Amino acid sequence: MNKTLFFIAAICALAGQGIAQEDMGIMKLDEFRYPKQRKIIDIPNVNGLQVLKCDFHMHTVFTDGHVWPNVRIQEAWKEGLDAIAFTEHVEYIPHKDDVKPGNLRPHELAKNQAAEQNILLIKGTEVTRNTPPGHFNALFIQDDKNLVVSRDSELDNQAIQAVVDQKAFIFWNHPGWKAAQIEGSYEWIPFVDKMYKDKNLHGIEVVNGFGFHKKALDWALDRGLTIIGNTDIHNLIAHEYDIDRNGIHRTMTLVMAKDRSAEAIRTALENGNTVAWSSKYLFGKEEHVRNLFHACVKLIPVFYEKTNAKKAASRYYELQNNSDLYFELKLVNGKATKSMILYPKSSQILIADAGQGKLVYEVVSTYVRSDKHLQVELSL
């Protein structure tokens, strides 16, 4: 839904109040007011599971973000998220001259507003070690009492242990960040390998904002770690994402959960039932991306056949994308339309030579490995 329409509507909606105030000599000029609504991001259920829209990485003025916590709830509401977590840095507090530190203070300040607006608010923090090993998010923590504030590298293990002790769900953030600059590349480092072997690493942030960390996707796939995508937003979403146009969304993790609750999200995260979504792209385990594709896209026969000069017959189909996701397809096998773009909530005509049983397309807007797109079969 487009904000302009909201806005028009707002004129009407506010007219009543306007008149009331008008009586008191104040005229309302609402034509340019931004309309308020919670956008619905339309993604059908996948095999009976709800697809929850989650962002598990963001900051406020309490560490190095630019906004008060309430703004993050407003943003989540406007942009159709189901769940978010404030993940303030444990060890990095640049505003401390002005703002009193408190790792879970944003959570405390915003929790009622979140409840009122039906946003699930999950307690989290960012364990912010120097690189390597870098940063880790811990979700579902209990409190912020025993976190390790010193960045001394000798305390790296202890810092992780502090969140392990809280039974947190832990994922490695943006593995290539800085690491790529320091080393020229980024690697699966021993520190992380030990966490993994100790079962203290549960996921990897494969997409951070607009950056897709390619190797990280393969590491997650090969080790059965959960694939995560987040904004890691510090600034305003509205100043970083071209969000007001419909179809433009912030980076997020699509969590396939049995219901809309924090518990179901935790279970889904532990089971690895996620797909990361950033810009036009989906990133995940092949099975999940495939199921998501087939939940969203349907092939409808048009019952129209055209015969050309050489007496070859073409059959017409409509390929419908019933979701707000975006899919771009290239033909791999069969004789049919070579490439197609399925924009959010739209369809395209597919023309196939008669007499074929199926077509195979590569969905080039998906990554099921750093070097591999999903392939789908369409039965004719």
116's CB contacts (< 8 A; 6+ apart) are none
Q: How far apart are the first and last CA of the chain?
A: 33
**Which stretch in 134-142, 162-170, 263-271, 312-320 sits in contact with its own copies by CB under 8 A?**
312-320
Q: Nearest approach, Cβ of 155 to its own copies (angstroms)? A: 27
Rounded to the nearest 10°, the torsion over CA 4, 8, 13, 17 is 110
Name the residue among 285, 290, 264 with its Cα closest to residue 275: 285
194's CB contacts (< 8 A; 6+ apart) are none
Kindly tell me which residue out of 335, 345, 369, 372 binds its own copies, with binding defined by CB under 8 A: 345
Instruction: Report 38-67 residues binding its own copies (CB under 8 A).
Output: 38-40, 42, 61-62, 65-67
Give residue 170's identity as a one-letter amino acid code.
Answer: I
Is 309 one of the binding residues for its own copies (CB under 8 A)?
Answer: no
Is 337 one of the binding residues for its own copies (CB under 8 A)?
Answer: no
Q: What's the gap between Cα 74 and its chain centre?
A: 17
Q: Are the C-beta atoms of residues 1 and 245 closer than 8 Å to each other?
A: no
Is 95 one of the binding residues for its own copies (CB under 8 A)?
Answer: yes
Give residue 84's identity as a one-letter amino acid code.
Answer: I
Is 111 one of the binding residues for its own copies (CB under 8 A)?
Answer: no
112's CB contacts (< 8 A; 6+ apart) are none
Kindly tell me which residue out of 50, 166, 253, 347 binds its own copies, with binding defined by CB under 8 A: 347
**Which stretch in 90-98, 122-130, 146-154, 191-199 sits in contact with its own copies by CB under 8 A?**
90-98
CB closer to its own copies out of 110 and 359: 110
CA distances from 16 to 26, 28, 29 (A): 13, 10, 13
Kindly tell me which residue out of 306, 332, 355, 358 binds its own copies, with binding defined by CB under 8 A: 306
Is 154 one of the binding residues for its own copies (CB under 8 A)?
Answer: no
Instruction: Report 241-270 residues binding its own copies (CB under 8 A).
Output: 241-249
Is 377 one of the binding residues for its own copies (CB under 8 A)?
Answer: no
Is 5 one of the binding residues for its own copies (CB under 8 A)?
Answer: yes
Name the residue among 9, 47, 56 with its Cα closest to residue 31: 9
Is 29 one of the binding residues for its own copies (CB under 8 A)?
Answer: yes
Instruction: Report 160-189 residues binding its own copies (CB under 8 A).
Output: 176, 180-181, 184-186
CB closer to its own copies out of 4 and 150: 4
Residue 78 CA to residue 103 CA, distance in Å, equals 25
Instruction: Report 68-87 residues binding its own copies (CB under 8 A).
Output: 68, 70-71, 74, 78
Q: Produce one character per residue of 189-225: b if its CB has 16 or more CB atoms within 10 Å, e if not.
A: bebbeebbeeebbbbbbbbbbebbbebbbbbbbeeeb
Window 209-228: contact mask with its own copies (x via CB under 8 A): -xxxxxx-------------
Q: Nearest approach, Cβ of 325 to its own copies (angstroms)? A: 11
